[in-house]
A and B are shown apart, each in its own frame.
Chain A
C-alpha cells in the first residue's frame, strides 16, 4: 500500500528565511504528487502538483517542489517565507492507475516568527 511520510511535525522559521518541508512516499511506481496548504479552520488549497515531465514544479504563492525518484521524495521549498505562510502543509499521493484514493501525510505545521 502506498504511504506518505512527513518527518517534521512542526517547523519554525523566521520571516524572510528559506523553507524546505520534507515529503517521502512509498509506492511501487511513480504516483501523482501534491502539496496542499490548510489555514486554521479552512479547507485545503492546492499549492502544486507533479504528474510527469520536469521534476521541478512551480506552484502558487512562490512555492516550488522537486521530485526526486531516487529518493522517493517530493520536498516543498520557498526561498523567502512571509508571515502569511504560517499554516499546516500536507503532502499527498495518488495512484496513477484509475480513480484511486489520495493518501495524505500527517502534515507539517509551519510557524513564522518575526
Chain B
C-alpha cells in the first residue's frame, strides 16, 4: 500500500516551453502533497505544499508563477514548470500524506528528471 507514482520519469524540453509533471497516489487518498527539488548530490528542498482543493503554499524563494501547482483531486497533484530555462533542470520528487495519518508520514514518488536545453 501507499504507492505514489510520477509521470513522466524523464523529460527533456526546449528553453521557453512549459512542462507538466503528474503525481498520483495509487491506493490511498492524499489530502496533502509535497513537491521537492533535488540538485545533484544535494538533499531535497521543499518547494511547496498543496492541499486538495486549495491553493498551494510555497516555500520562501520559490516562484509561484514559475512553478504552478494544482491539487485538483485526492489522488492527483500536478507541477507545471512554466517557461522553463536550463537552470530549472533538476530532479523533482513529490510525496503524499493523508490527514488520517497521525505520524505525518509522507510517501514518496520515484521522481522526475527534467532537462531543459
What is the interface of chain A, defined by CB distance below 8 A to chain B?
Answer: 32, 34, 36, 41-46, 49, 51, 90, 94-96, 98-102, 104-107, 109
Known: A43-B111, A44-B108, A102-B34. A51 touches B43 (CB 8 A): no
What is the interface of chain B, defined by CB distance below 8 A to chain A?
Answer: 6, 32, 34, 41-44, 46, 49, 91, 93, 95, 97, 99, 103-111, 113
CB < 8 Å A-B pair total: 57
B44 / chain A contacts, CB cutoff of 8 Å: 44, 90, 104
| Contact (Cβ within 8 A) A32 B109 | no
A107→B32 CA distance, assembly (Å): 25
| Contact (Cβ within 8 A) B105 A44 | no
| Contact (Cβ within 8 A) B42 A43 | no
**A42 CB contact (under 8 Å) in B34, B41, B107, B111:** B111
**A49 CB contact (under 8 Å) in B6, B91, B105, B110:** B105
**Other than the known A95-B104, A99-B32, what 12 A-B pairs have Cβ atoms closer than 8 Å?**
A32-B103, A36-B108, A41-B91, A41-B111, A45-B108, A46-B107, A51-B103, A96-B104, A100-B104, A101-B34, A106-B42, A107-B43
State how many angstroms separate the Cβ of B106 from the closest Cβ of chain A: 6
Known: A32-B104, A43-B93, A94-B104. A102 touches B46 (CB 8 A): yes
